[in-house]
Amino acid sequence: MTLETLEIRGVEMHYYAVCKRKLWLFQHGLGMEQHSDRVEEGKVLHEYAYGRLEKEIEIGGEAVVDAIDEDWVREVKISSRMERADRLQMLYYLYLLKQNGIEKKGLLSYPTEKQTVEVELDEAAIQEVEAAMQGVRQIGSGTLPKYRKLPYCTKCAYRDFCQSGEIGEEEA
């Protein structure tokens, strides 16, 4: 498998772990992030965190990591509230690098919480990433998943769209 054939962006892996509906909407061109204060806050945090490191490193045209140094791939996040999704996104980046013969470890940095989480790509993680990649593709080729109210919907850029009741019905 080459990087050119993956065609999955890192954000899609994150959305896959967070909300299948959000993933589908994003994959079908409905990008709401440009209107999100939370996304802007994340961009500002990213800009000022780890100033000495090279930032916005593209991997294979599909993924952009926040920063890479000699041993580490780093992702800067606002909050650890979505650590499971952050971890999957990081594992995907490590997976892409491994496909090109580059072995690194990952660091999820939550500067506002003064917390850093180390992430390593082992065999179980590779299987997790490959299963998620298959899931991402299935979501994109399927129909719009039903709306489900989740704990983090209140801060989601897609909230108004999903809660408008126009498309899809709430899952019971």
Cα–Cα dist 33/171, whole Å: 24
How far, in Å, CA of 171 to CA of 169, rounded? Answer: 6
pTM score: 0.81
Which residue is listed with tokens 């954000």?
11
The per-residue pLDDT for range 5-33, each reduced to its tens digit, is 458 999 999 999 999 999 999 999 887 66
- Asked if CATH classification 3.90.320.10 holds for the domain at 3-163, the reply, yes or no, is yes
3-state helix vs strand vs coil in the chain, percent to 5: 50, 15, 35
Token digits for 73? 């791939």
Tell me what pLDDT residue 120 has.
97
Closest by CA position to 50, among listed 70, 83, 76: 76
Determine which helix (DSSP H) or strand (DSSP E) holds 27, and give its type and residue range: helix 20-27
Contact (Cβ atoms closer than 8 angstroms) between residue 13 and residue 132: yes
Q: Which residue has the tokens 């061109």?
A: 29
Q: Indicate the domain borders of the chain.
A: 3-163
Phi, psi of 113, rounded to the nearest 5 degrees: -105, 0
For residue range 53-106, what is the model confidence (pLDDT) as tens digits?
Answer: 555 677 776 677 877 888 899 988 888 999 999 999 999 999 999 998 989 999
pLDDT beyond 90 at 46: no
